Amino acid sequence: MAKHLNEFGGHWTEDKIEIFLKYLYAYLQIMKDRGFELIYFDGFAGCGTIQKEAGNIEALIESVAIRVLALEHAQRFSIYYLVEKDKQKANQLESIIKVSQKDQDKVYIVAEDCNEKLLGLANYLREHRYSRALCFIDPFGMTINWNSLAAFEGLDLDMWLLVPTGIGVNRLLQKKGEIPDAWFKKLEAFLGLT
């Protein structure tokens, strides 16, 4: 049976997208005519489509990155930086964007680790004081390291960071307190604790 590249999705997915897009729309209104270079950074961009219900490959909706690119708005982003570590998904995202989306010359699709790209974005913002970023960070589990977020200290940006504790931290925090070393290391990297 055919499989979808991103095997997740449900009614909350659509709610999440709509809520984020409302914010993004307000963000663009606020930033209008202020002279900033605006960057949209999607750290876990996916393959371009999402299953409407888990397991159903017939009912697909467009992913956040595709919806952002399709947005009709007078004020738009100068750069759309889309990170998706999985090469197959990144290729599919690229092919969808090539077919249907405008502003293609402003789109960068990068098949690398979001943590490294966040450090790169922080450096860029430090060097370009008239640049502002809106980041949408939507990982599975505990993929983001605290250090990747700490790098933005003192910088101006808006970041939506979704933290799926149910499939991450909650599983590692054992009630009995018997936590293996490898899990401790993961918790330290995620929470920024020593």
Contact 43, 135 (CB under 8 A): yes
Q: Between the CA of residue 138 and those of 10, 46, 126, 184, what are the distances in Å?
A: 15, 9, 24, 23
Query: Tell me, what amino acid is at 181?
Result: D
The nearest distance, CB 109 to ligand SAM, in angstroms, is: 11
Residue with tokens 């640049």: 131
39 pairs with which residues across the strands?
A: 79, 133
Residues 65, 96: Cα–Cα separation, whole Å: 11
- Between 36 and 111, CB nearer to ligand SAM: 111
Residues sharing a CB contact under 8 Å with residue 58, sequence separation 6 or more, in sequence order: none
Nearest residue to ligand SAM by CB is: 46
- Between 63 and 131, CB nearer to ligand SAM: 63
- Between 36 and 62, CB nearer to ligand SAM: 62
Residues sharing a CB contact under 8 Å with residue 194, sequence separation 6 or more, in sequence order: 188
The nearest distance, CB 6 to ligand SAM, in angstroms, is: 5
Residue with tokens 């219900």: 53
Residues 17, 73: Cα–Cα separation, whole Å: 17
Which residues make up the interface to ligand SAM (CB under 6 A)?
A: 6, 44-46, 50, 63-64, 83-86, 89, 113-114, 138-140, 143
The nearest distance, CB 83 to ligand SAM, in angstroms, is: 5
- Between 28 and 118, CB nearer to ligand SAM: 118
- Between 20 and 125, CB nearer to ligand SAM: 20
- Between 86 and 158, CB nearer to ligand SAM: 86
The nearest distance, CB 173 to ligand SAM, in angstroms, is: 22
The nearest distance, CB 47 to ligand SAM, in angstroms, is: 6
Residues sharing a CB contact under 8 Å with residue 171, sequence separation 6 or more, in sequence order: none
The nearest distance, CB 43 to ligand SAM, in angstroms, is: 6
